[in-house]
Amino acid sequence: MNPASLVGELFDERALTELRRVADIDPGLVLTSLDDEAAQSELARTEILVAGWDAPVITAEQAARATRLRAVVYAGGVAATCLEDPAALAARGVVASHARRANAVPVAEYTLATILLSGKRAFAAERHYREHRAAPDRSATADIGNYARTVGIVGASHVGRAVLDLLRPFDLDVVLHDPTLPEEEAQRLGARLLPLDALMAAADVVSLHQPLTPATRGQIATRQLALMPDGATLVNTARGAVVDQDALVAELRTGRISAVLDVTDPEPLPRASVLWDLPNVVLTPHIAGSMGRELRRLGDSVVAEVARFAAGEPFAHPDDLAVSARR
């Protein structure tokens, strides 16, 4: 998101009217750089900082001069993203809010659609239909459909939980892997908790929703991919690097499994990557997250959080700056 278009991207006139009602804010004032004296003067008088993707990072020195700052409301995943020293602000009592739950909604919707289309073998059917100008032989469709399919969710993140919630109405067996989650919490989310290898071996569709950390980088590797049943589909809307891409390419080359990849490593892929041409791969250009009209949901989240802060209420979606600093 270009910071200069932040207001237009996030807020419609209704949201701007509400924002003006609860705060003294100039929607036309968007700081794309904090290097000049005028921008630093604006920052120095700011009590609530509203920021979003690609906003300029506030240095520790600039933050130290922002003595009136009391809150950071971030229209994205982690408020500390726009701060060089979030711990120092936390120590001053500055509080923060994130919009992870708002951004999780379109990712979960994309994932649900992909899971259901994968169960119907829709992507392969479309390719066959286009190539042969004829429907496939009905004898080859016996295993098509979503009834009683097993869907594996890796990671009970905000997105993972939203996907689990969307899967509830369907006749699916849902399994979940998350080492931080107790069994009773998984049951409450509508899933059976499994170790990662067991999930990979059981699921017809595996959807990845774990954060990218040192522990999860390359987590889905040769062994896990080899465990997937013939005809299974891997869906990645998390981060490309949670999958060992060389291992994924090797497995996909066999034609044994399929993949729907909204994220890759690197991103975008090199033009020579074999993933562009494999018939069992669907590539989308990181479109699962908030885009276009969906950005207004982030804006509505920002307005609601600013209104809560102005009313002396705690944030609905607090983001601990001290914890963020240690990530």
For the annotated catalytic residues, the residue numbers are 239, 267, 286
Buried-state track 10-25, b at ≥16 Cβ within 10 A, e below 16: bbeeebbebbeebbeb
Report how far residue 64's alpha carbon sits from residue 225's, in angstroms, rounded to the nearest whole number: 49
CA atoms within 13 A on the CB side of 208: 29
Burial class (CB in 10 A: 0-12, 13-18, 19+), 28: exposed
- Decide if 67 contacts 122 (C-beta within 8 A): no
Residue 37 and residue 270: Cα distance in Å, rounded?
A: 41
Closest CA to 281 of 304, 251, 307, 313: 251
